Structure 1
């Protein structure tokens, strides 16, 4: 899925063919701080549970800091870009990229912490099992986490402390890519249009 110059694609771990996406749509959610977060959603076919997979994150141009982050930046701070991967509501990865990062970046493992180019690595990303309860849901919500693989791209201000440890400053979520998965032949509830049951803060964009 692509939003502006950000592109996120799911692949089986050892395949160059991406997992096909269906019914892509964009919605807007009201964040806790009052700003609006775009949520780009689609449906994908499930892989076998616990199958290794990878996430390709690409920026088609050098990212430019938003006016919001620039207004918060102090002289000693710099802008980095963060990727958070959330599966079934659990954050399994949070990595940092410098502005001069070469794209795309392939996320195959769950680093323990720190920058993606560090030597610290964790276990492989494993595709989640399908939750049948999704089929019985009476309504559909773009903000739902159950049964979704979410990739959130954000910009963040950081500075180096005297001990060399990065200190975080203001953060601005740019886009949430939300992949809802289901096995072949199983259809979760479809997002209707318009959304009479959706909160007024979660509206589709066109």
Structure 2
């Protein structure tokens, strides 16, 4: 999905997004019915009405298919906005991280019921939590590299990204626990405001 959203998508992008969503939903529902360890990529493919090869074209593992985590670079439009932004660094890093999170974690824009399903799966499966943690490390590394295009200090970039990442993480936690609407931007803004009041 592009940063401009589904309205700007062409047919190929729309079909790819639909296939990605079908695989993610099939994997998530199968994992809820049984467990992640008790499902196969073949079953995911059958439930999504795609081939096993197609599943692997979209996700490197069944765990990633269940979580709906992608490994995409930050959206170019968001990077350009960040690099041109005159605002406080932390605010701009939070916006960049949040946009990148939405691009990389397709489920983050889904419904409250999808969030509840994801929350249930994370509570039941430590392997999924570890998978998200690893994806988070890669994600933070990508954001740090973008921030370094605006500031020269690697430590400053890492600190800004770590803080922004944790603030975005709190928004995701609220979403997964049913305390925020799809996408969580309003919740993120409340969290950032609470953070600023704490300083």
TM-score (norm: length of structure 1): 0.25
More helix by proportion, 1 or 2?
2
Between structures 1 and 2, the one with greater strand share:
1
